[in-house]
Amino acid sequence: MKLTRFRTRLAILFAVVIATPLLVITHDAAAATNSFRGVNWADERDNYVNGWVIPTGLTASDSYSTVKTKADGILSGFQDLLGANTVRLPINPESVNSNWWGAYKGTVDSALNHGMNVILSFWAESNSYGTIPNLSAWNTMWDTVTSDYGGNGRVYFEPMNEPYGYSLSSWVSVCGDWLSRHSTIPRGRVIISGTGYNDNVTGVGAASQLNGTLLSLHFYGYWASDTTTSAWTTNLRNRIGSYASRTIIDEAGAPMTTGLTYTDASNQNTQYTAYFGATTDFTRANQMGVVYWPGLRSGDSYSITRQSGSGLAVNNASGVAQLRWGWGL
């Protein structure tokens, strides 16, 4: 996510995925989520866009075959350089309810051909203020996406990213309606965002209407200024409560282009190294999945990789090592 916009919205808030067929597995949320070792592949402009979402490395004029070829190089990089087995991709109605979807599906199909999990997450338009601006278009989008990929057990669906415009009860109602409309999708393949900026899952975790689903949490190092891992661990634990076994942290990241060393124990007394150390220690200890923000996004200092030819290069080897630790590798 774009940090400047995020900070602004956070201030306002607190002031007032041709798929290779796989077996469909009917399952509820797992007892642990550490099978998700992932990264976000994001739009350079930010995934909050009024129009098509176009992850870094793709262009609006790309055909399906071009998208798939480009994705092959990038996703191979995520796998080979990081050890990732999951990619989280943004969608919105403009992207799906248009001819771009025919091309954009090349990212999903490439990931599936690589044996990866895919999380498809709806990002609202930049002026939506954390709500679904057009429910009809949103439903049409999800009808299309679930029709295309509902039969593939490696594809997971996140009805909305960062629903900060909804109260807990309103958000649970929106998710309950989604689950009813798409009742053929196993609940264990639906990822329900925490309230606010996905910043707390205790409310959605306790909602009986959402039983059996996975939960998603976002957690960032600029949310506090603490410089100890103990303080960051407490911060994170309070946001998860008793729902670690259902929760994937599908956005967490730290600066990867500013020279920080994340694996040096003597360097763990800075805000971001303490934050990332605490996060990865917690997810490893609690067998939780992490989907790093971002695996690739041009111009983002948090990007753990950068484009290099038709593939990728690592921006911070210590960051990769610490992320892999958090993944349980």
The pLDDT score that the predictor gives to residue 130 is 94
Domain that holds residue 282: 3-327
Q: Tell me: the pLDDT tens digits for 132-165?
A: 999 999 999 999 999 999 999 999 999 999 999 9
Give the whole-angstrom CA distance, residue 233 versus residue 255: 19
What is the DSSP secondary structure assignment for residue 18, as one 8-state letter?
-
16 pLDDT more than 50: no
Please answer whether residues 32 and 283 qualify as being in contact, where contact means their C-beta atoms are separated by less than 8 angstroms.
no
Half-sphere exposure of 317 (CA within 13 A, CB side): 1
The pLDDT score that the predictor gives to residue 268 is 67
CATH code: domain of residue 72: 3.20.20.80
The pLDDT score that the predictor gives to residue 13 is 37
Residue of 21 and 231 predicted with greater confidence? 231
Arithmetic mean of pLDDT over the chain:
91
Task: Give kind and range of the element (H or E) at residue 260.
Answer: none
The pLDDT score that the predictor gives to residue 30 is 59
Among 132, 215, 122, residue whose Cα is nearest residue 166: 132
**Secondary structure (3-state) at 196:** helix
Give the whole-angstrom CA distance, residue 304 versus residue 292: 8
Half-sphere exposure of 154 (CA within 13 A, CB side): 20
Stretch among 27-36, 175-184, 213-222 having the lowest mean pLDDT: 27-36
56 pLDDT more than 80: yes
Span between the terminal Cα atoms of the chain, in Å: 26
Give the whole-angstrom CA distance, residue 110 versus residue 170: 36
Give the whole-angstrom CA distance, residue 189 versus residue 212: 9
Angle at 112 between CA 106 and CA 115, to 5 degrees: 145
Among 250, 277, 249, residue whose Cα is nearest residue 261: 277
Half-sphere exposure of 161 (CA within 13 A, CB side): 23
Give the whole-angstrom CA distance, residue 36 versus residue 42: 18
β-strand partners of 217: 249
Whether a cis peptide bond, with omega within 30° of 0, leads into 294 is yes
19 pLDDT more than 80: no
123 pLDDT more than 70: yes
Please answer whether residues 297 and 303 qualify as being in contact, where contact means their C-beta atoms are separated by less than 8 angstroms.
yes
The pLDDT score that the predictor gives to residue 126 is 73
The Cβ of residue 4 has, within 10 Å, a number of other Cβ atoms equal to 9
36 pLDDT more than 60: yes
- DSSP output for 287-304: T-EEEEEEEE-TT-TT-S
Which residue type does 278 have? A
Q: What are phi and psi of 216, to 5 degrees?
A: -125, 135
pLDDT band at 31 (very low <50, low <70, confident <90, very high): confident
What is the DSSP secondary structure assignment for residue 245, as one 8-state letter?
G
User: How many separate domains does the chain show?
Assistant: 1
pLDDT band at 128 (very low <50, low <70, confident <90, very high): confident
Mean pLDDT to the nearest integer, 218-225: 97
The pLDDT score that the predictor gives to residue 90 is 98
Q: What are phi and psi of 25, to 5 degrees?
A: -110, 120
Q: Tell me: the pLDDT tens digits for 285-311?
A: 999 999 999 999 999 999 999 999 989
Question: What residues have CB less than 8 Å from 137, skipping those under 6 apart?
Answer: 93, 97
What is the DSSP secondary structure assignment for residue 80, as one 8-state letter?
I
Tokens of 247: 């929760």
pTM of the model: 0.91
